[in-house]
A = this chain, B = another copy of it.
Amino acid sequence: MSKEVNVAMIGGGFMGKAHALAYAAMPMFFWPAPAIPRKRVIVDITDEMAEDARQRFSFDEASTDWRATIARDDVDVIDICTPNNMHAEIAIAAASAGKHILCEKPLARGAAEAKSMLDAVERAGVIHMVAFNYRRTPAIALAKTFIDDGRIGEIRNFRGTYLQDWSADPDGPLSWRFQKDIAGSGAVGDIGTHVVDIAHYLVGRISEVNAMTPAYIKTRPVQEGGLDKLGASEKNASARREPVDVEDEVISLLRFENGAVGSLEATRNAYGRNNFITLEIHGTKGSIHFNYERRDELQVMFADDPVDARGFRTIYTGPAHPYGDGLWPIPAIGIGYSETKIIECRDFFQAIASSTQPSPNFVDGYWCELVADALLKSGETGKWVGVKA
């Protein structure tokens, strides 16, 4: 029988829900499972919130004291689902207590903070992972196998976007995602880092960026209740407004260490785009295209196909593709957000079971922060900025 591993989750919001689902479902999908996650403790801000989350997500216990929770002997894993400003403090404490750590993305509010976290986990020798779940979409993992097998040749060009529209309305509330002291940055950290992570995964390290980081909406209504409801938030034109101090968008040129070039665009103000994470990769032997809004599909073009039968193939991922043994028995039965998080959970517990660091871990998270800092700096200076540790 698979071993139970005790999890304490800090934060019971949108991400808490996604992770709780993954803990429950992972062994159902990947069996035998590397471990049976036991939902031991959930921590939230108030007693009421914590107890409500405990019932909803089926944890054994509720708490409002994350420090005490970390100190418990019967907790093996700390899962950080808080806003960004709490990541470092919790992660460093958890590492000191010898707990394995799954931390939501972005890892930190910048590279310096991320470095302190990385140092802590490396010192402690615990397993660490950053929850960049989108790279675990089976279609993106399939892209990785085609690239690694040389099927599209040497990569020349990468174009990545992450376009959303939930913040396009200026009367959407001033959630923590628009406050620099909590979020660290705006579109760069919130969604741009997902693209950076995918670029690092598929192409290699970004070495230099040249960015614009415009801010369009300068103030927003103060939010009642503090919730982070994204596209489900209420618009309020008459409430008191306070300043937004983060960028709304980032557009950047990219250079990679291996000589590839490319671009990145991330915005939460693109009307009509919802979770429009797209990739286009051109190689010397073929091309790849992906759009998360149609996430079951990978588009691949092989230049060595017969000239009359060349064209992008639309491959629906299923049993024959990465993670296919654990998912559904027919392609297009449906990959959703849930499945990406279930896969992530599997890989995290497999890392624990095998005592090998998963990917992306805090090293990767740190490098994403280095790129994020470079994007922000380039946005300010208008110059190419190198990415250096």
Contacts and interface: CB of A to CB of B under 8 A. Distances in A.
Contacts of A188: none
Nearest to A32: B56
A231 B274 contact: no
Interface string A202-235: 0000000011101010000000000001111000
A336 to B, nearest CB: 3
Given A55-B36, A232-B324, A293-B296, A286 B271 contact: yes
A311 B314 contact: yes
A316 to B, nearest CB: 5
A301 B296 CA distance: 17
Contacts of A31: 52, 56
A28 interface: yes
B282 A269 contact: yes
A309 B314 contact: no
Interface string A152-176: 1000110100001110110000000
Q: How large is the interface on A (under 10, 10 to 19, 20 to 34, 35 or more residues)?
A: 35 or more
A231 B276 contact: no
Contact of A308 (B27, B142, B311, B335): B142
A310 B315 contact: yes
Judged by DSSP, the binding face of A is mixed
B57 A28 contact: yes
B336 A335 contact: yes
A13 to B, nearest CB: 9
A312 B169 CA distance: 17
Interface in A28-82: 28-29, 31, 33, 36, 52, 55-58
A274 B330 contact: yes
A334 B331 contact: no
A116 interface: no
Interface string A370-389: 00000000000011100000
B55 A210 contact: no
B330 A334 contact: no
Which of A146, A270, A272 counts the most chain B CB atoms within 10 A? Answer: A272
A58 B2 CA distance: 12
A58 B28 CA distance: 8
Interface in A282-308: 282-287, 289, 292-297, 300-303, 305, 307-308
A307 B320 contact: yes
B253 A251 contact: yes
Interface stretch (A14-22, A85-93, A95-103, A120-128): A14-22
Which of A20, A142, A229, A282 counts the most chain B CB atoms within 10 A? Answer: A282
A333 interface: yes
Contacts of A337: 328, 333-334, 336
Contacts of A334: 275, 292, 295, 335-340
16 contacts: A1-B55, A21-B25, A24-B28, A145-B308, A230-B329, A232-B324, A232-B325, A251-B261, A272-B287, A272-B289, A274-B333, A294-B296, A311-B313, A311-B314, A334-B340, A336-B338
Interface of A: 1-2, 14, 17, 20-21, 24-25, 27-29, 31, 33, 36, 52, 55-58, 142, 145-146, 152, 156-157, 159, 164-166, 168-169, 210-212, 214, 216, 229-232, 249, 251-253, 255, 261-263, 265, 267, 269-276, 280, 282-287, 289, 292-297, 300-303, 305, 307-316, 318-321, 324-325, 328-340, 382-384
